[in-house]
Structure 1
Amino acid sequence: MKKNIISIEFSNYCFTPTLFPSLMVIFLLPLLVYLGFWQIHRGDSKNQIQKIFYQRSVAIPINLNQIENINLEKNYFPGIMQGHFDNQHSFLLENKIYLHKVGYEILTPFILNNRQELILVNRGWIPQSIDRKKIPKIPPLNNKLIIRGLIVFPNKTFSFKQINEKKWPKRIQSINPDFLKRNNFQPFMLVINTKQTYSFTPLWQPITLQANRHYAYAFQWFVLSFTLFIAFFSIHIHRL
């Protein structure tokens, strides 16, 4: 027999909730509401990132050969630099999807002319072979180049265990500040965001999930919480 924890009479109805459903609602309802507001906060954060990105990406390019100590305040600013690629030591950033195809983003070190500093360049996307063991060949660029792109500081994401490969190019699963520091790169990348002779298919975006998706998820959480609330009262309200 179900145990009623309270009985409230009003008009011709009686509200008699039982213990277990009441405990479930007490736990789930605040959680669902919290998740809804959390998704709204995430959406607002994505909108702010997009706003900053669009404002900075149209600024005057920063000459990376002349300016040292680029800090986080220059994130998403255009950059320009002169030098040459280190063709022998490229990285393949795995599991990148373009037009429903799996591929890699090509990351190649770039050596500045006047300072011999290494800046990692995201050159864009190429498809992965059907045979995953087959590593794609990256055409070398031996000439001195002037390249343009966006200055991007990677997020402090979870660091996956990297594949222990001896041959180049090496496959990696993530890019974060520790990776750049460990490989003696500058703390930022230059992302080629337009099609150039020295790049592949541009793929990089400042955010992976648009703000509208977060707002849609928030709406779903709020609908679930409202449905739970209505269902709980509907089950436990009886006519006298």
Structure 2
Amino acid sequence: MNRKNSLFDALVVKRVVATVSALLVVAIGCGAGIWQVGRAHGKIALAANLLARQQMPILNANTHSWTLEEASERRMIARGKYIPEAAVWLDNRPQPVPAGGAGAAAQAGFYVMMPFLLEGRDEVLWVNRGWAPRNHENREILPSIETPVGTLNIEGIVFAHPGKVYALGSEDLNVDINKPRIVQNFDLVREGQLHGWLQTPFILRLEETGVADGLVREWVPLTTGVDRHYAYAFQWFALAFAGFVFWLAGGLRQYWRQSAAHGD
């Protein structure tokens, strides 16, 4: 009984500061590790849900006024024509991951958002046509891209927005809607108000490949970064384990010294 009490004293009672510090390290390490694992599982679940919705029947933008809830993350086809003079270039977008790899150096560029007038509906569908590199010397010089003329068919995946980046301040309210412009984030509601036209409550991310129009459409998978989250989780759990081991080893050394001094 005395030995048990002595061991408890050596580990905890006589090392209150060390015990509290170890508990904090273990709690922080385990908490952060669990959070990183949760983020990885969340990305995997989102990717699985997206894949499942893409397997559902393809929607047609020309036959029905779809809501965001009905169409979100579904494949959709549309027929109409682009309105290139009203294009919106989204700045500070990273280079998409190339096919077959994820280790390419990042490059600044634009997402090209272009309105697409639906045939027979007098309604506009905003299309994320893809990524284009930014001019390193002058960001105002837009890269040259090709835009099909006339009526055509397109296909892609429906999203609520093309993704957002951090921006300081608000966008300029005095804009010329009759020429392409550069912005940080895309506001679907505001675009409808600026142009005064009827538009769908979502955007279409184009999925065409092999088209020589100057745009890249190797979209970043939702599972990108999962391995990194697991690696971070391992580091946090390792930190928690190391904190516990250091605390235990220090307490045992103190206990053995006390036992040796008392001849136990």
Q: Please classify the TM superposition score into its range, dividing by the shorter chain length.
A: 0.7 to 0.9
Q: Which residue of 2 aligns with 1:193?
A: 207
Q: Which residue of 2 aligns with 1:174?
A: 185
Cα offsets for 1:99-138 (capped at 9, x unmatched): 4222111111111122222221111111111114333144
Cα offsets for 1:26-49 (capped at 9, x unmatched): 333222211111122221111111
Amino acid paired to 2:131: W
Using the size of structure 1 for normalisation, the TM-score is 0.81
What is the alpha-carbon distance in structure 1 between the residues aligned to residue 232 and residue 162 of structure 2?
23
Amino acid paired to 2:188: L
Specify which structure has the higher proportion of strand.
Answer: 1
* Equivalences, count: 230
Pairwise CA distance, 1:198:
5.8
Pairwise CA distance, 1:140:
4.2
Change (3 A) 1:219 1:205: same
Match for residue 116 of structure 1 among 111, 122, 126: 122
Pairwise CA distance, 1:157:
5.8
CA contact (8 A) 1:191 1:204 kept: no
CA contact (8 A) 1:162 1:173 kept: no
How do residues 135-154 of structure 1 correspond to structure 2 at under 5 angstroms?
135-136=141-142, 137-154=144-161
Q: Secondary structure at the match of 1:60?
A: coil
1:9 and 2:6 are equivalent in the alignment: yes
Change (3 A) 1:29 1:155: farther
Q: Secondary structure at the match of 2:154?
A: strand
Pairwise CA distance, 1:91:
1.5
What is the alpha-carbon distance in structure 2 between the residues aligned to residue 198 and residue 141 of structure 1?
9
Cα offsets for 1:60-92 (capped at 9, x unmatched): 321101021333243221111111111112122
Q: Which residue of 2 aligns with 1:226?
A: 241
Give percent identity, aligned residues only.
23
Q: Secondary structure at the match of 2:200?
A: coil
What is the alpha-carbon distance in structure 2 between the residues aligned to residue 206 and residue 181 of structure 1?
27
How do residues 155-174 of structure 1 correspond to structure 2 at under 5 angstroms?
160=167, 161-164=169-172, 166=175, 168-174=179-185
CA contact (8 A) 2:145 2:213 kept: no
Q: Which residue of 1 aligns with 2:52?
A: 55
Pairwise CA distance, 1:205:
3.4
Q: Secondary structure at the match of 2:130?
A: strand
Using the size of structure 2 for normalisation, the TM-score is 0.74
Q: Which runs of 5+ in 2 are unaligned?
A: 96-103, 193-198, 259-264
Q: Which residue of 1 aligns with 2:262?
A: none
CA contact (8 A) 1:125 1:201 kept: yes
1:106 and 2:112 are equivalent in the alignment: yes
Match for residue 88 of structure 1 among 85, 89, 98: 85
Change (3 A) 1:128 1:57: same
Pairwise CA distance, 1:169:
2.5
Range 153-162 or range 72-81, more displaced: 153-162
Change (3 A) 1:148 1:197: farther
Amino acid paired to 1:107: M
Pairwise CA distance, 1:197:
5.4
CA contact (8 A) 2:165 2:184 kept: no
